[in-house]
Structure 1
Amino acid sequence: MTWTLPEPMLTTTVNSPDLPPGWAAEPKWDGFRASLSVDNGRVVLRSRRGTDMGPAFPEVLAGAGQLREATALDGELVVWEAGRLAFERLQGRLRRRGAGADRLAQEWPAHFVAFDLLRLAGTDTLAWPYRRRRAALEQLFTARRLTAPWALCPSTTDPDTVREWQSWTAVGLEGVVFKRLEDPYRPTMRGWLKYKVRESTEAIVGAVTGSPTAPRCLLLGRYDTEGRLQYTGRTVTLSPTAGGTFTGLLDPAGSEHPWTGWTFSAGWGTNETLNVTLVQPELVVEVHIDVARDSAGRWRHPARLHRARPDVSAGDVAPFGS
């Protein structure tokens, strides 16, 4: 009988970067969550939502020949470019098949960063505590001498190492995931904790959804080195209270706004566009952002508004891409 991959175990976001007692930590990768199984000669590579990703990543399917039969892993698909994780290269591979997928496998090869063991040589390991699954996963890598596309996710119980990992944002790591040492693998349950590194920064409001007197979302920009206002990202949807604090701070744009004729996506990876109102690019706001960027330096995830900064001029904001 064919074994079926379980649904993935999930995370809950926490605000504390500290390692709780009795837990281990792993780096949080900027990639695609994926699970893989080898069963009766058949290789399945599945996304968190259950999509078959195998045809898009032929190098991962081919690499499954290094694994033991009747083995399954949980992990993250990543692509590296110039020493950092390149999410946009990974995303660009999803819809490729056949020769196109083969070509991109050579140009932008993916790695499967394994962080959990779901099955080993026909033995279901879900009920094992994390510490036992982790030891078996490490032994699998050692015994099989696994090489690319396989990579073993680091794991630690040392608080100093956890703090060091949180400084690795320059290479695209988003934070850390905490896992209780004695917990089994519980499909669909939010039993792991996720801390995402966030930083405070400033940007210029160039457009809004809703009205300038009570915006629902702020579209933010920064000037590049040639003096052009570039779009860098948007905020999460503002509460009515937060939106109301902008009364009198934003002025409708004139006819020569630098974003005239531009369209703005409603979200990463969607074709839906936002209905925006351009405003004079004068007001600076302070926001909290995570470290995920696209290749141009734009923020991949919405920012959290902290406060308006009418005391700061647009010329004092960091340049686009920084």
Structure 2
Amino acid sequence: MRPMLATHGDPRSGPPVGPAWAHEIKWDGIRLLADVVDGRLRLLTRSGRDIAVALPELRALADLGADVLLDGEAVAMVGGRPSFSHVVDRVHTASAAAAERLARTRPVTYLAFDLLRLDGLDLTGLPWSARRAALEDLVDGVPGVQVSPVYEDGRGLLAATADQGLEGVVSKRRSAPYAPGVRSGDWLKFPHRDVRSVVVGGWRPQAGSGSRLGAVHVGVPVDDGSGRPLVDGSGRLVLAYRGRVGSGLAGRAGVALLERLEALPVVPYPFTTDIPRPEAAGSTWVEPRVVLDVAALGVTADGRLRQPSYQGVRPDLTPEDLLEDV
């Protein structure tokens, strides 16, 4: 099952008002479906990758029942605030021994916000309010697991999360069913910063240095008209160009990203539109596999990100996942 996704709410009006809606904090974590079958726990990213071995502190989820499916986020708190970089570091851990050590020194919490299956019963057709009530009863007191708090005043919550440096707010229609894999207007997100996921299609070195990363060329998959990503004659993804990202790549972040990109196959130019020759000069085009988060001040009329800055790699997403955001 693929998780339900939220659409962007209108920032001018803010979160909806009234008893038909509930409001939650938008946590800066990794979205995970917690799937328990006969005592075996799988923690599934949006791309379907099971990372349970990386997060042993969440093993108590396996004791919830014989057949349970939860939706939520793994969140790492640093100084009282969620740290996306810390939780991403945990996701990369493949060694069970290393994961056990990190669970003691850099633990994550699973913030559950929905219950999709229980004891063989599919709950997705029930209203959010019924699923939420069952969730609160189910996970009460489970180590490493909390239920994401719900608030009545969405606009007050939006202001409070801005003051506290949190990511934003998600508003949910109380009567709505859970729509797997659908970006639904029954869930509205109001982020404080416009962070988008994009795919790297190329990179160029820093001016005057062939060994340092200067910028990456990024884009998003293109719909082929049937709900599938467009591919070229060799079966590779074709990307709509979203611009060049250089800010945020100094120091260790740029070194680590360059190592990833240098390991990718070199391919022909992967974007649907040409870019100016000075921007393309010295660039290496690579197979579109690496997904990044970038923060930007919106999008220009020609689809480019305004003043984008690198936020981090998204190992939980595949390029195909981004077609849902196009």
TM-score band by shorter chain is 0.5 to 0.7
Offset at residue 43 of structure 1 (A) = 1.3
Q: 1:272 aligned to 2:257?
A: no
Gaps of 5+ in 2: 195-206, 208-213, 218-242, 263-276, 280-291, 301-326
Matched to 1:128, the amino acid is L
Cα pair 1:268 1:300 within 8 Å, conserved: no
Q: 1:196 aligns with which of 191, 196, 204?
A: 191
Distance 2:121 2:110 in 1: 22
Name segments (4+ residues, structure 1) moved above 6 Å. 206-210, 266-270
* Mapped pair 1:155 → 2:155: no
Residues 72/208 of structure 1: CA separation in 2 closer, same or farther (3 Å cut): closer
Is residue 2:72 matched to residue 1:75? yes
Match of 2:176 in 1: 183
Work out which of the two has the higher radius of gyration on C-alpha atoms and give 1 or 2. Answer: 1
Q: Are 1:265 and 1:271, in contact at CA under 8 Å, matched by a contact in 2?
A: no
Contact 1:209 / 1:276 at 8 angstroms: preserved in 2? no
Q: Distance in 2 between matches of 1:80 and 1:53?
A: 19
CA distance 1:219–1:163, change in 2 (3 Å) = same
Contact 1:208 1:276 (C-alpha < 8 Å) held by counterparts: no
Contact 1:19–1:25 (CA<8 Å) still a contact in 2? no
- Aligned equivalents of 2:127 and 2:257: distance in 1? 36
Of residues 297, 301, 324 in structure 2, which corresponds to 1:304?
A: 297
Q: 1:46-65 CA distances to partner (integer Å, 9 max, x unpaired)?
A: 1111001111111112x124
Q: TM-score, normalised by structure 1?
A: 0.60
**Corresponding position of 1:92:** 89
Q: Aligned to 2:31, what secondary structure does the other structure show? A: strand
Asked whether the equivalents of residues 57 and 101 of structure 1 are also in contact (C-alpha less than 8 Å), the reply is: yes
**Which of 52, 55, 61 is residue 54 of structure 1 equivalent to?**
52
Distance in 2 between residues matched to 1:269 and 1:69, nearest whole Å: 44
Which amino acid counterpart does residue 141 of structure 2 have in structure 1?
A: L
1:26–1:154 CA contact under 8 A, matched in 2: yes
Q: Could you say which residue in structure 2 is the equivalent of 1:18?
A: 15
Q: Secondary structure at the match of 2:130?
A: helix
- Cα gap change, 1:91/1:209 in structure 2, threshold over 3 Å: closer, same or farther? closer
- Bigger Cα displacement from structure 2, 264-273 vs 85-94: 264-273
Instruction: Show the counterpart of 2:2.
Output: 7
1:38–1:11 Cα change, 3 Å? same
| TM-score for both structures, normalised by structure 2 | 0.60
Deviation at 1:35, TM superposition (A): 0.7
Question: Tell me, which stretches of 5 or more residues in structure 1 are unaligned?
Answer: 1-5, 200-205, 211-215, 221-231, 234-258, 278-298, 308-322
Q: Following TM superposition, by how much is the alpha carbon of 1:30 offset from its aligned partner in structure 2, in angstroms? A: 0.4
Paired residue total: 226
Q: Which amino acid aligns with 2:82?
A: L
Letter in 1 for 2:260: N
Name whichever of 263-272 and 147-156 sits farther off.
Answer: 263-272
**CA displacement at 1:93 relative to structure 2:** 1.6
Contact 1:266 1:272 survives alignment (8 Å): no
Q: Secondary structure at the match of 2:295?
A: coil
- 1:227-246 to 2 correspondences below 5 Å: 232=248
Within 2, Cα distance between the matches of 1:269 and 1:45?
A: 29
Return the offset for 1:305: 6.4
State the AA in 1 paired with 2:68: T
Deviations 1:71-124 (A, max 9, x none): 221000011122221221211122322211111111111110000011223322
> CA RMSD of the aligned region, Å?
3.5
Question: 1:139: how far off?
Answer: 2.1
